[in-house]
Amino acid sequence: MGNVLGPGAPRAPRRGEPLGSPGSFDELHRQCKEVFPQQMEGVKLVVTKTLSSHFQVTHTIHMSTLGPSSYRFNATFVGDRQLSPTEAFPTLVGDMDSAGSLNAQVLQLMAERIRTKAVFQTHQAKFVTWQFDGEYRGDDCTATLTLGNPDLLGGSVILVAHFLQSITPRLVLGGEMVYHRRPGEEGAILTLAGKYTAQKWVATLNVGYGGAHASYYHRANEQVQVGVELEANTRLQETTFAFGYQLNLPQANVVFRGLLDSNWSVGGVLEKKLPPLPVTLALGAFLNHWKNRFHCGFSVIVG
């Protein structure tokens, strides 16, 4: 009969919808985390100025009630290659505070599916973090390798490997392995991860030797989003639960985020845009009933 399907015969097309890229491992819990309010204390003024379509600078003045006040200068450069509204390459970000501490990031697209990132952090004149990432984004999988603080002379390194695979259009499974090495000591920790995305909700679970992290995000409607989180750390023998919600009222230019957690903390942040001015006013307050501590703050964001 011979070889009916010769070497040049095309493969049959896959049935069903495409699986979709699972995204980055660090963003598995992002949707839930964005619902929670950020801690605010003192007074903060943020002024952002866009100098061109590629360059933007930000000045931040923070008058703190808990520590020393500070000034930060941030400069961001984005290149011409834009993959999506939030991703453009190359991207260079530099952030320096009044004490001379620097936080710098460089993101570059080396090939169609390969991205690299370099992160440097200094505390005044001393380097604290130097980290290099390489990420491969396939049609239905993502693989990342990270080198943290590699020190050839000292013989120490932290190696982190991530892998995520879309099993179905809704289910993503994957894992993380962290390997650390110092003179006289080395170890590795494996963590398994899973994420299920439905039309209105997302459930994510990370389980490993060091503990577990579960999150549930629910979009009730255009106005209300809810996030629920549970973290258990077997090394510290601690568990925490947090419930957060976000209320969007675009007609009133208001976004409110609230928080309630198992440490007896209650807090909320209200953000109000003040059109036609490019100004956003944020008011926040947090109260810890168990420790009897209260702090509040407000910030003005211009631009």
Partner 1 sequence: MAAAAAAAAPGGPGAAPQGLGGWLRSAYRFATDRNDFRRNLLVNLGLFAAGVWVARNLTDIDLMAPQPVP
Binding site for partner 1 (CB under 8 A): 201, 214, 216, 218, 220-221, 223-224, 226-230, 232, 234, 237-241, 243, 245, 247, 249, 251, 262
Which residues are within 8 A (CB) of 178 and not within 5 positions of it... i.e. 6 or more apart? 158, 159, 160, 188, 189, 191
Least separation in angstroms between residue 260's CB and partner 1 is 9
Can you tell me which residue has the tokens 């939030």?
A: 86
Least separation in angstroms between residue 44's CB and partner 1 is 28
For partner 1, the closer CB: 39 or 263: 263
What is d(CA 33, CA 274) in angstroms, rounded to the nearest whole number?
A: 26
Q: Three-state DSSP class for 141?
A: strand
For partner 1, the closer CB: 133 or 229: 229
Least separation in angstroms between residue 239's CB and partner 1 is 5
Residue 131 to residues 152, 183, 256: CA-CA distances in angstroms? 14, 20, 35
For partner 1, the closer CB: 1 or 252: 252
For partner 1, the closer CB: 214 or 285: 214
For partner 1, the closer CB: 63 or 220: 220
Q: What is the largest CA-CA distance in the chain?
A: 85
Least separation in angstroms between residue 227's CB and partner 1 is 8
Least separation in angstroms between residue 245's CB and partner 1 is 7
For partner 1, the closer CB: 64 or 223: 223
Least separation in angstroms between residue 259's CB and partner 1 is 12
The helix/strand count (H/E) of the chain reads as: 1, 19
Which amino acid type is present at position 138?
G
For partner 1, the closer CB: 166 or 265: 265
Least separation in angstroms between residue 257's CB and partner 1 is 14
Which residues are within 8 A (CB) of 18 and not within 5 positions of it... i.e. 6 or more apart? 139, 140, 169
Which residues are within 8 A (CB) of 214 and not within 5 positions of it... i.e. 6 or more apart? 203, 204, 205, 206, 229, 230, 231
What is d(CA 41, CA 43) in angstroms, rounded to the nearest whole number?
A: 7
